[in-house]
Structures are given as structure tokens and as C-alpha cells.
Amino acid sequence: DQHDGNPRYEALAVDTLAARLGDVHEVASRVGGAPTNWEIREVGDGNLNLVFIVTGTTGSVVVKQALPYVRMVGESWPLPLYRAHFEYYALVRQAKRAPNIAPEVFYFDKPQALIVMEYLYPHTILRRKLIKGERVAQLGETIGQFCARTAFRGSELSLPSPEKKQDVGLFSGNVAIPAITESLVFTDPYYGAAMNHHTPELSPVVDELRRNAPLKAKVQRLLMKFTANTETMLHGDLHSGSIMATDTSVRVIDPEFSQYGPMAFDLGMAVANFLMAYFSQPAHRQEDDLADYQAWILEVIEACFTSFDAEFRHLWQTERTGILFPRALFEEQGNSADDACDALLDEIRLDALAYCGIEMHRRVLSLAHNADFEEIEDTALRARLEARNVLMGQTLIMEPEAYCDLSALIALASAFNQK
């Protein structure tokens, strides 16, 4: 049924929230003051949920509540409320695996599908910062480290095997959310699916892409890997709208697309969003500061990959405790395990580049686009910039091995940026 068997579920509203959460100690004690005096704003601008900022005399919290349908489409697309408890599970695990990056959770109400969490201030959504041309110190480093820590510590390189298997079993109860990724990210971009839309002037590029049978075969192989390879717990939707930042602080929010999947997926998705910020810049910057800002985004991408590798290697050397590559396997014979780590990192880099290409495609061809391109009003210019993005994505999917070297990757982005 529509409310997952929770007959008491009721969507919150600005004028009902204080009465409904005013008695909840975990909320009231942080917000402070009489609930009737709380300032409450609905600020959700994502595709799925309600999000409120609640402010009282001593502080603010964020209240996020799942709706029983996809907000961006409406009630015609029902979506189970149970997704909120998987988001809660993901937040709790991320807090352990990559401390101080995800927002702290204060309260979870399963029947109401709501999570009360830390209000990140003065952070703003990274996508908006990148469109405005703002820089964030340590952006690539922090995201690379976050991806490495969650990838490593959510896998059997770190977790005891029974614990990891139980967690995979738990998350396998979340069937609705992965189904969205499987179609919107991996499938719909490559054929005329009903909900797709794209900039009209991009049609010749789109038609050509959809005629590319080897490309579609590669993408479907990557989809199989995404669904079948449960090697770690993913964020699952690590785009620049899932990152909040100030000039010096980076936080990751919104893991409701979390599932067990391949270690390369989050890294690839994050880099794709940096590349889309890069390609869309000519529409958002004046000539005089365009080149410098684009160069900075490329530095972020390099830092993201290099800090992923450095952090993963560090964890491999210091925290490897799981069933894979037990220390004695190498050390008993005086061998080094470093080659095994390097081989795994090569494989992750290769897959991340291909997943990156797929995310670059779906954000201009499928249902859920991003503001970097969507806010370009001149559709001819938008299509020209989107074409660079689509064609680079195609290259990354078809021959990722040619761009594992980061200088080759950066040169490829620069070359498409001139087309």
C-alpha cells in the first residue's frame, strides 16, 4: 500500500511541524524555546522529499521526510516510504566510516519516514557554488577521501565477513531506489524512454549516441556490475547537489540512494559532476575569469582521484582486517601486498571513468537533469556545451584505459572544451 503499512503516516507541513515534533525531546532540546515560536521553512529543492529547517532559541535542525511518491513527477509515480530507513542506516554507517562528513542524526521516526539531523551552516549546495564560480578549499581531496573511506571500510577488506553479508542482506530490502538508478542512469539515456528529454539542438548528437551499439553493450555490462557487485556500501547519488560546502568545509548529504555496489561508483559519479561543472562554465563566467576557474575545476578532479588512491592505499596498509588479502597471505612469505592494492586501484580507476561517462550522459539525456546545463537559457549554447560533455562521456565509456593516466584525462577534457 502507499504508506508501507503505516496508516498514521502524514506528510509534515510548515504549520503542523511544531505541534508534531514539539514534544520530541531530541528535537525540542536542540531547537529550544516554545515550539509555537519556532521558525519553520520548507526548503526542499530535490527530486523526492520534503526538507524543513526548524529554528528556535538555541539552534536549528533539518527535518527530512520522505513522500510516498516522487516529488518531481507527482503522485502518478509512487515510491515506498521505507527508503527513509535505508537513508538513516546509510547516515549512521557513513558517520562511522568517514567521520565528520555526513550530517549527524538526532532522531529517526520510521513510521513517519522522517529524519531529524544536523543543520549545516553556513554551508550551501556545491552545485550552486560551482555555477557562481566559487572555490572550495580541499574539495577534491575531501571527496576523494570520503569515497576511499566509505569504499574501503564498507567492504570485506575491513568488515568481518558475516557482518558485511548481513548488511548486504539488510540493504537488499531496498528494491525501489536501485531500480530508479538502474533505469534513469544506466538505461533510459540510451533509448527513447518515455520520461527522457533533451535540448532540441542536441538531437543529432543524441541520435548518433543511441545508434552506438558497442557503447550500449558496454553500459549494460557496467549496469550488471552495478547490480551484481555488492563489494561496498555506496552513497549512490554523489552529485554536486549532494555536497554542501563553505569556502573551507565540505560535507556530504543525502545518501538515500545508498546500496551495496562497486567501489568505483561514487568516485565516478562525483567526478562526472565536476566535469559537468567544467563544461558548463562558458555559459556562467565572463571570459576574463573563465580559464582560471576551469583550470581550478580540473585540479579538483585530479585531487579527487589522487586522494582516493592515497587514502585507500593508507587504509589498505593500516586497517586491512577482512577476509580478502589477509596480512599473513603476503607477510608470512615476506612478500609485499602493495601490488595487490595497486591492481585493485587500477581496476577502480578504470570503472570509475566508465561510470563517470554514464553519469555525464544521464544528466543531459534522461529524466533528472542538473542546473549546470539546465539554467543556460540560450539553448543553442547549452546544446554546444552539452555535446562536449556527451562526447567526452562516450569516450570514457568506450576506452577508459586510455585515460587512467590523469594527465591524459585532463588533456581529454581540455580538448573537448575547445570543440
CB of 265 to ligand SR1, least distance (A): 12
CB of 368 or CB of 383, closer to ligand SR1: 368
x/- map, 219-258, Mg ion, by CB under 5 A: -----------------------------------x----
Q: Identity (one letter) of the amino acid at 183?
A: S
CB of 311 or CB of 359, closer to ligand SR1: 359
**Region from 42-50, 54-62, 166-174, 353-361 binding ligand SR1, contact rule CB under 6 A:** 42-50
Binding-site size for ligand SR1 (CB under 6 A) equals 10
x/- map, 48-87, ligand SR1, by CB under 6 A: x---------------------x-----------------
- Partner touching 70 among Mg ion, ligand SR1, none, CB below 5 to 8 Å by kind: ligand SR1
- Partner touching 146 among Mg ion, ligand SR1, none, CB below 5 to 8 Å by kind: none
CA–CA dist 200, 369 (Å, integer): 14
CB 179 within 8 A of CB 363: no
Q: Which has the closest alpha carbon to 370: 352, 389, 395, 353?
A: 389
CB of 167 to ligand SR1, least distance (A): 22
CB of 180 to ligand SR1, least distance (A): 5
- Partner touching 114 among ligand SR1, Mg ion, none, CB below 5 to 8 Å by kind: none
x/- map, 148-177, ligand SR1, by CB under 6 A: ------------------------------
Q: Identity (one letter) of the amino acid at 210?
A: R
CB of 257 to Mg ion, least distance (A): 7
Describe the crossing of helices 406-418 and 265-280 by its angle, rounded to 10 degrees: 30
Q: Which has the closest alpha carbon to 151: 393, 388, 341?
A: 341
Helix (H, G, I), strand (E, B) or coil at 158: coil
Q: Take residue 342 and report the three cell numbers written for it.
A: 595497486
237 binds ligand SR1 (CB under 6 A): yes
CB of 139 to Mg ion, least distance (A): 19
357 binds Mg ion (CB under 5 A): no
CB of 240 to Mg ion, least distance (A): 11
Enumerate residues 178-207 that contact ligand SR1 by CB under 6 A. 180-181, 184
- Partner touching 243 among ligand SR1, Mg ion, none, CB below 5 to 8 Å by kind: none
- Contact residue for Mg ion among 46, 140, 189, 262 (CB under 5 A): 46
Q: Parallel, antiparallel, or unpaired for β 260-261 and 232-233? A: antiparallel
CB of 269 or CB of 365, closer to Mg ion: 269
Can the peptide bond before residue 80 be classed as cis, meaning omega within 30 degrees of 0? Answer: no
Q: Parallel, antiparallel, or unpaired for β 69-70 and 114-118? A: unpaired
243 binds ligand SR1 (CB under 6 A): no
x/- map, 356-385, ligand SR1, by CB under 6 A: ------------x-----------------
Q: Take residue 356 and report the three cell numbers written for it.
A: 563517470
CA–CA dist 413, 248 (Å, integer): 26
CB of 46 or CB of 144, closer to Mg ion: 46
**E strand residue ranges, 224-327:** 232-233, 243-245, 250-252, 260-261
**Region from 40-48, 205-213, 340-348, 401-409 binding ligand SR1, contact rule CB under 6 A:** 40-48
CB of 240 or CB of 307, closer to Mg ion: 240
Distances (CA, A) of 357 to 64, 85, 388, 411: 31, 30, 12, 16
CB of 56 or CB of 189, closer to ligand SR1: 189
The percent helix, strand, coil of the chain (3-state, each to 5) is: 55, 10, 35
Q: Identity (one letter) of the amino acid at 277?
A: A
Sequential DSSP letters for 329-383: HHHTTT--SHHHHHHHHHHHHHHHHHHHHHHHHHHHHSS---HHHHT---HHHHH
CA–CA dist 54, 27 (Å, integer): 9
x/- map, 256-285, ligand SR1, by CB under 6 A: -x----------------------------
**E strand residue ranges, 127-282:** 232-233, 243-245, 250-252, 260-261
- Partner touching 222 among Mg ion, ligand SR1, none, CB below 5 to 8 Å by kind: none
Helix (H, G, I), strand (E, B) or coil at 262: coil
Helix (H, G, I), strand (E, B) or coil at 63: strand
Binding residues (CB under 5 A) for Mg ion: these are 46, 254
Binding residues (CB under 6 A) for ligand SR1: these are 46-48, 70, 180-181, 184, 237, 257, 368
